[in-house]
């Protein structure tokens, strides 16, 4: 097991910038007006505000993809959101040895924004960079309430949503591994790989797929193949888009 010394997180989380936009988490230059915190979104449950925020995001994705069903757009939107959270958290843990507290009361979200302008962290509070902490700040604080909502509102299968979460984690780890090895940071690559393996064993993600090295093969499908011109993703359970008669089994 590789242990990294814990390093205080700098206020700008500057070490994440070379990794690319999905890893970047804005901590300064607050937009005006500031977007709502995710705590506000989650705490009011299925109220108008929550519904309007998520509905806006899903509709935006649906329009961009010309998705024939709202549940397809909901799936793609959730996977993108999961990728943002995992990238920032895993990148911080591997590079710093610690992770910023992603408490929904500190994390602001713009449903109309794209990386890195969609998320803004108002306060950088360092936490340990172990798998349990990452599970707490990403899975439990964010992806679980989001999965509950999307399952209830859009009838997206829970297994599909957790498959998306696992796929997003594996994708972030793969990107981080490539960057680390290209820059001679094998310590970062090893740390990211170890954390990813531990997180994929979490009860919410266990059984969602198989990780071999940095390659992940999931046991569910995100439904992207159903958008016009879409195909299967690199980690999909399908090797080619299913026939129309089999589509009902993919979710």
Total residues found in the chain within this entry? 251
Tell whether 137 is covered by a domain: yes
Degrees, nearest 5: CA angle 142-147-149: 100
The rounded distance, in Å, linking the Cα atoms of 58 and 71 is: 9
Does residue 41 form part of some domain?
yes
Contact assessment for residue 72 and residue 62, using Cβ atoms and an 8 Å cutoff: yes
Specify if 86 maps to a domain. yes
pTM, 2 dp = 0.91
**pLDDT (0 to 100) of residue 195:** 98
> What pLDDT sits at residue 8?
77
pLDDT of res. 241: 87
Element (H, E) at 43: helix 38-43
Residue 236, in any domain of the structure: no
**The pLDDT of residue 244:** 54
Those residues whose C-beta lies under 8 Å from the C-beta of residue 82, and which sit 6 or more positions away, are: 138, 143, 164, 165, 168, 169
**Given this model, what pLDDT does residue 1 score?**
40
- pLDDT for 51 equals 57
> Into how many domains does the chain fold?
1
| Per-residue pLDDT at 3 | 42
The range of the structural domain enclosing residue 27 comes to 14-209
pLDDT for the residue 31:
73
Kindly report the backbone phi and psi dihedral angles of residue 165, in degrees, each rounded to the nearest multiple of 5, phi listed first. Answer: -60, -40
The label of the residue with tokens 């306060």 reads 123
Distance CA 216, CA 234 (A): 9
15, 95 contact by CB (below 8 A): yes
Element (H, E) at 64: helix 48-65
Asked if residue 200 belongs to a domain, the reply is: yes
Domain-located, residue 205: yes
Which residues of the chain fall short of a pLDDT of 50?
1-5, 45-46, 245-250
83 is a domain residue: yes
Is residue 233 in some structural domain? Answer: no
């Amino acid at each position: 097991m590789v242990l990294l010394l814990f390093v205080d997180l700098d206020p700008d989380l500057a070490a994440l910038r070379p990794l690319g936009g999905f890893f970047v988490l804005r901590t300064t230059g607050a937009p005006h007006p500031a977007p709502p915190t995710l705590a506000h979104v989650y705490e009011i449950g299925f109220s108008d505000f929550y519904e309007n925020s998520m509905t806006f995001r899903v509709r935006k994705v649906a329009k961009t993809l010309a998705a024939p069903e709202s549940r397809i757009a909901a799936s793609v939107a959730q996977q993108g959101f999961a990728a943002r959270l995992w990238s920032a958290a895993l990148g911080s843990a591997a590079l710093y040895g610690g992770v910023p507290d992603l408490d929904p009361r500190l994390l602001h979200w713009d449903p109309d924004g794209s990386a890195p302008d969609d998320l803004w962290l108002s306060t950088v509070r360092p936490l340990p960079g172990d798998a349990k902490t990452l599970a707490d700040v990403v899975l439990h604080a964010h992806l679980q309430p989001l999965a509950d909502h999307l399952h209830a509102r859009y009838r997206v299968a829970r297994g599909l949503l957790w498959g998306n979460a696992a796929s997003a984690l594996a994708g972030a780890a793969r990107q981080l591994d490539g960057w680390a090895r290209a820059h001679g940071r094998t310590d970062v690559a090893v740390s990211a790989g170890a954390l990813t393996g531990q997180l994929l064993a979490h009860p919410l993600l266990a059984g969602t797929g198989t990780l071999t090295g940095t390659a992940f093969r999931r046991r569910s499908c995100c439904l992207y193949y159903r958008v016009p011109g879409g195909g299967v993703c690199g980690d999909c359970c399908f090797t080619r888009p299913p026939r129309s008669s089999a589509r009902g089994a993919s979710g």
